[in-house]
Structures are given as C-alpha cells and as structure tokens.
Amino acid sequence: MKFSAVVAAGIAMAGSAMAALDPIVIRGNAFYTNGSNDRFYIRGVDYQPGGSSNVSDPLADSDGCKRDVPVFKNLGVNAIRVYTVDNSADHDDCMSLLDDAGIYLLLDVNTPKQSLNRNEPGPSYNAAYLQAIFATVDAFKKYDNVLGFFSANEVINDVNSTATAPYVKAVTRDLKRYIKAQSSRTIPVGYSAADISQNRWQQMEYFNCGNESETIDMFGMNDYSWCGDSSFQVSGYQQNVENYGNYSIPMFFSEYGCNKVTPREFSEVETIYSSQMSPVYSGGLVYEYSQEANNYGLVKLNGDSVSYLTDFYNLKYALGNATDPSGSAGASTTRSKANCPSYEEGTWEVRGTDLPEVPSGAEKYFSDGAGKALGFNAPSTQWSSGNSSDSDSDSDSSSSASASSAGSTATSGSQSSAASTSTSKSKGGAGAVEVPSMMNSIYSLVLGGLFSLGLML
Ligand SMILES: *[C@@H]1O[C@H](CO)[C@@H](O)[C@H](O)[C@H]1NC(C)=O
Ligand SMILES: *[C@@H]1O[C@H](CO)[C@@H](O)[C@H](O)[C@H]1NC(C)=O
Ligand SMILES: *[C@@H]1O[C@H](CO)[C@@H](O)[C@H](O)[C@H]1NC(C)=O
Ligand SMILES: *[C@@H]1O[C@H](CO)[C@@H](O)[C@H](O)[C@H]1NC(C)=O
Ligand SMILES: *[C@@H]1O[C@H](CO)[C@@H](O)[C@H](O)[C@H]1NC(C)=O
Ligand SMILES: *[C@@H]1O[C@H](CO)[C@@H](O)[C@H](O)[C@H]1NC(C)=O
C-alpha cells in the first residue's frame, strides 16, 4: 500500500524512492516507531501557508511541497501539522515527498466550514459534518506516515465554552469507530487544546476518562508560555510535568514558539527534548513554517522562492543540538486513565459522562464508508437552530468573511491570533469557530453570514 503513491507519482527508480516510513504506534504515554523500542519524539513545524485559517490545501500543492519539503529536511523536522485539507484532492505527491524525507503528518480533519460551531454545537454535529471528516480520513488513511488526526482544535477556547466538550468527545468517538471499521491500520486520534490555565486539567481528564472507545489517544497542547530566555521553572513547564505526570497517554505541544521576544532563540528546545520533560512529553511542533501577518514565520515564501529568516536558523541549530533522551526515558505503560472531572460552575460546565448520540443518517458511514468526498465546495455543515435557508451564502468572498488582521499588533508583544492571518479569501463564514488558531484566539460568531475575529489578551 505504501508504495502505491510512489508508483502513482511516476517515479520509476525502485530503490531510492522507497524510503517508506513505518507507522508510529502508541504504547502507554509515548510514541514509538512500529517495531522499535526507541521512543519517537515529535520534532515538528505547523504548516499552512497563508495562515492556519486559510482555506487552502498545502498537501494538494505539489509545487509547494517540492519547494518546502527540502526546507523541512534542512530544518531537521520529522513531523508537520496541517490545519486544513481538501478531502477530494490528490495528495499522493506531497505525501510521498514527505515520506521520502522521513516526515510524518498530524492532520486536523476539520475545515472552517466543516467543524463544530462553538456557540451552538448541537446542530453543527450532524451527518453531513461526519461525512466530511470521515471522507478526510479516507483520503489519508492509506499513508503510513500519517501519525494521527486531530478531532478538533481549540473548540474549548475559554472558560465559558466547556459545554462543547461532549460534542468534541463524540466526534473523537465517531472518528475512532470509523477508523476501526474502515482503515486497515489503527491511526491515533487526538485533541489540540487551547492554553487555558483555569480548565486545562479538566480538559485533559475529560478526554481521557471513561470508555476507551470515546477517549483521545494523544493530547496536543498549544502552549506559548516559554518566551525568550525563559527556563524550565519560569515557563511553567516544570509545573506541567509535575501536574500532568500521571497522564496515561502521549502529550506534546501541538503549537509552541512564543514571539514576544524576537528573533526567537528557541531556548526551550533543549528542555523539551531533555529527560526533564520526556517522562511526560513527546516533543512538539513550532508555530509556524511560513511568515504571515502575525509574525510567527521561520521562512518567507514568495512564489517558488523561500527566504530563511533568523528564526529558521535558530530553530535548526537548537534542534540540531538537542539529542533525544535514550531508551524509554521515563515513559510508562502503567498509568491509569483519569477520573472524569466534576461540574464546576464557570470553569467546567459539563455534567455527567453522556455523549450525544450519532446523528441520524450517519450510522451508515461506519458500515458503508463515507462515500464521495465533497472537498472545499461542499456547503457549510455548521447548521444552527435558526438554520436560515441561506446558511451557505457566505461561502464566497462577497459576504466579506474577512478577519480583522492582527498584523498591527503582532510585534507589540501580544499574543496575536494565528487565525487572524486569514485573508479576505477566507471562506470561514458564519460559525467558523473551529478554525485552527492559537491560544487566545476567538471567533466571535455573528449568525447570519458575517463573522469577525476578536483577539483576546
Ligand atoms: C506494526 O507491526 C506489526 C508487525 O509487523 C504489524 O502486525 C502491525 O500491524 C503494525 N502496526 C501498525 C499500526 O502498523
Ligand atoms: C490561501 O488560500 C487561497 C485559496 O483559498 C490560495 O489561493 C492561496 O494561495 C492561499 N495562500 C497561500 C499563501 O498559500
Ligand atoms: C465567552 O465569553 C466571551 C467573552 O466574554 C464571548 O465573546 C463569547 O461569545 C462567549 N462564548 C460563549 C460560547 O458563550
Ligand atoms: C465501551 O464501548 C464499547 C463500544 O460502544 C462497548 O461495546 C463496550 O461495552 C463498552 N465497555 C464498557 C466497559 O462499558
Ligand atoms: C501519581 O500517582 C502516584 C501513584 O499512584 C501518586 O502517588 C501521585 O501522587 C500521583 N501524582 C499526581 C500528580 O497525581
Ligand atoms: C549547535 O549550536 C551551534 C550554535 O548555535 C551551531 O553553530 C551548531 O551548528 C549547532 N549544531 C547543530 C548540529 O545544529
């Protein structure tokens, strides 16, 4: 199976093109290359040219991959995270370039139009939505270098959006069930969480508690707490290692790289890949590859050309000097699942452990498969209880789904939103609440066609 992409790409030379990667597997709270006892630490970069909320598919862009994969290799990464893909597109070229370069993929299955609506999760959890994300699984399950899928990113983005948690968990359950039924290989499913100190632990517990069929396989945290010349202690990493020391599944940074001090030195890299962190963490991904308005880039893209910024070299050398701890490095297979967190007014407003049932009409996908992938042209699935007949009318730029740009604040030291980099081409539309974004970014939703992007903090 893994060779078909190579053949399809028309690469005739047998030997050299067949550097097929082994899948990554999870044992206890760590990743391993299948068949090996050496841990796999994610050394990654987040990759979505145009910004993490740009509705474009970087893995369907063969020229873009030919331009960027050698740069990933030069940087020394073994994983990328992509926030949005077109499930109807062909990804063979990019996936085999990545595979040849020894690079795994972490993929968000949602798009701005096919995702849970934070403000009204119920109606947005529907069969059309599940069809879309299942079709995305279908498009990628054949690639052995898919490390895992994210069922959602930062849906809980504040203390007042915790009521969405059962929906996120239901989506996780459905994805796991779909993969079990429709994929020949187990592929991990995780959640990528916003950095909310008040309820982060409850999130971790909630997604880790209860029946295995409903729990996440890995936890990604978007964490910007190490800024400039910080330390294990000052950054809060040490506290996290202590607090989360009994977590039973792999944890890693799905986004890191505070830019309050620039150029970024990436002094945290040495600590992330040290034995201080390794009993609990398995590396992370730096936000982000390309320079966008919010100033988190490692390189500047311009057509076919790539210019390296100082951050690129700083990260490359930091990674180059950071050696993975050897052996199991404190990993454990005996930690138990968390207890479900209890209801807490204003912080964790979830009662009980019941999850929404699979929406009507979606049951058939588990047995029959998702069917035809509808790609970026599919109508929005973010239905609402008001469900006006024109709920999709925002799908072209005429309704100016424009995000207010954070560009101007990006250098002021505030955590600007990654989502804010979206251009006027963003098709986020009403309820684009699950747009990939960094901590503190919030989509405030105006039902009826417009959205605006508010920056918190
Ligand atoms: C790991 O390797 C074993 C033995 O080769 C194989 O049976 C198993 O299916 C592999 N697991 C995954 C997830 O690929
Ligand atoms: C952003 O998305 C649009 C398509 O929606 C695409 O044309 C554009 O190239 C993307 N931006 C970048 C920098 O990739
Ligand atoms: C949470 O509070 C923020 C700011 O107070 C508000 O903008 C947002 O709409 C609220 N979200 C929900 C889901 O109530
Ligand atoms: C866990 O969930 C599965 C699938 O729904 C079910 O078959 C099984 O009985 C459950 N196990 C427990 C202990 O509840
Ligand atoms: C982790 O588990 C051990 C053994 O059960 C216990 O002594 C310790 O207090 C736990 N630590 C945390 C942070 O929960
Ligand atoms: C280690 O860091 C130094 C100083 O930044 C750099 O010159 C060197 O190339 C790095 N080593 C590797 C293997 O990246």
Distance CA 204, CA 370 (A): 30
Distance CA 171, CA 165 (A): 10
Residues 6 or more apart whose CB falls under 8 angstroms from that of 51 comprise 292, 293, 294, 418, 419, 420, 421, 422, 423
The protein residue whose alpha carbon is closest to atom 14 in ligand 3 is 160
Residue 75 Cα to ligand 6 midpoint, Å, equals: 12
What is the average per-residue pLDDT within 302-317?
97
The protein residue whose alpha carbon is closest to atom 7 in ligand 2 is 56
In 3D, which of 368, 277, 261 has the Cα closest to residue 310? 261
Predicted confidence (pLDDT) at residue 300 exceeds the cutoff of 90: yes
Q: 190 to each of 58, 128, 246, 360, how far by Cα in Å? A: 21, 21, 18, 24
Ligand 1 surroundings by CB, under 6 angstroms = 23, 25, 34-35, 185-186
pLDDT computed for residue 430 by the predictor: 26
Distance CA 402, CA 14 (A): 48
DSSP string covering 43-91: EEEE--TT-TT----GGG-HHHHHHHHHHHHHHT-SEEEES---TTS--
Residue 214 Cα to ligand 4 midpoint, Å, equals: 9
Q: Give the model's confidence band at 388: pLDDT under 50 very low, under 70 low, under 90 confident, else very high.
A: low
Residue 59 Cα to ligand 3 midpoint, Å, equals: 34
The protein residue whose alpha carbon is closest to atom 7 in ligand 5 is 246
DSSP string covering 131-155: HHHHHHHHHHTT-TTEEEEEEEESS
Torsions phi, psi of 425, nearest 5?
-80, -10
Give SS3 for 238. helix
Residue 24 Cα to ligand 5 midpoint, Å, equals: 28
- Which ligand has the nearest atom to the CA of 211? 4
Predicted confidence (pLDDT) at residue 19 exceeds the cutoff of 60: no
The protein residue whose alpha carbon is closest to atom 2 in ligand 3 is 160
- Which ligand has the nearest atom to the CA of 455? 3
Q: Give the model's confidence band at 53: pLDDT under 50 very low, under 70 low, under 90 confident, else very high.
A: confident
- Which ligand has the nearest atom to the CA of 22? 1
CB 86 within 8 A of CB 60: yes
Closest ligand 3 atom, CA of 119?
13
Give SS3 for 302. strand
Closest ligand 4 atom, CA of 213?
2
- Does the beta carbon of 353 sit less than 6 angstroms from any atom of ligand 4? no
- Which ligand has the nearest atom to the CA of 36? 1
The protein residue whose alpha carbon is closest to atom 3 in ligand 5 is 246
The protein residue whose alpha carbon is closest to atom 9 in ligand 1 is 185
Predicted confidence (pLDDT) at residue 432 exceeds the cutoff of 80: no
Closest ligand 5 atom, CA of 243?
13
Predicted confidence (pLDDT) at residue 384 exceeds the cutoff of 80: yes
Torsions phi, psi of 69, nearest 5?
-60, -40
Predicted confidence (pLDDT) at residue 443 exceeds the cutoff of 70: no
- Does the beta carbon of 74 sit less than 6 angstroms from any atom of ligand 6? no
Residue 26 Cα to ligand 4 midpoint, Å, equals: 21
Torsion of CA 92, 96, 98, 100, to 10 degrees: 180
CB 43 within 8 A of CB 24: no
Q: Give the model's confidence band at 387: pLDDT under 50 very low, under 70 low, under 90 confident, else very high.
A: confident
- Does the beta carbon of 213 sit less than 6 angstroms from any atom of ligand 4? yes
233-259 per-position pLDDT tens digit: 999 999 999 999 999 999 999 999 999
Q: Give the model's confidence band at 277: pLDDT under 50 very low, under 70 low, under 90 confident, else very high.
A: very high
Average confidence score pLDDT of the chain: 84
- Does the beta carbon of 244 sit less than 6 angstroms from any atom of ligand 6? no
Q: 226 to each of 19, 258, 402, 415, how far by Cα in Å? A: 36, 6, 31, 12
Predicted confidence (pLDDT) at residue 25 exceeds the cutoff of 90: yes
168-188 per-position pLDDT tens digit: 999 999 999 999 999 999 999
Q: Catalytic site residues?
A: 154, 255
Predicted confidence (pLDDT) at residue 404 exceeds the cutoff of 50: no
What is the average per-residue pLDDT within 414-438?
29
In 3D, which of 200, 179, 141 has the Cα closest to residue 439? 200
Ligand 3 surroundings by CB, under 6 angstroms = 118-119, 158, 160-161, 444
CB 179 within 8 A of CB 141: yes
The protein residue whose alpha carbon is closest to atom 11 in ligand 2 is 50
Distance CA 48, CA 60 (A): 12
pLDDT computed for residue 324 by the predictor: 97
- Does the beta carbon of 320 sit less than 6 angstroms from any atom of ligand 6? yes
- Does the beta carbon of 371 sit less than 6 angstroms from any atom of ligand 5? no
Closest ligand 3 atom, CA of 445?
9
What is the average per-residue pLDDT within 141-169?
97
- Which ligand has the nearest atom to the CA of 315? 6
The protein residue whose alpha carbon is closest to atom 10 in ligand 6 is 317
Two tokens, residue 249: 């599944």
Residue 315 Cα to ligand 6 midpoint, Å, equals: 10
Residue 321 Cα to ligand 1 midpoint, Å, equals: 32
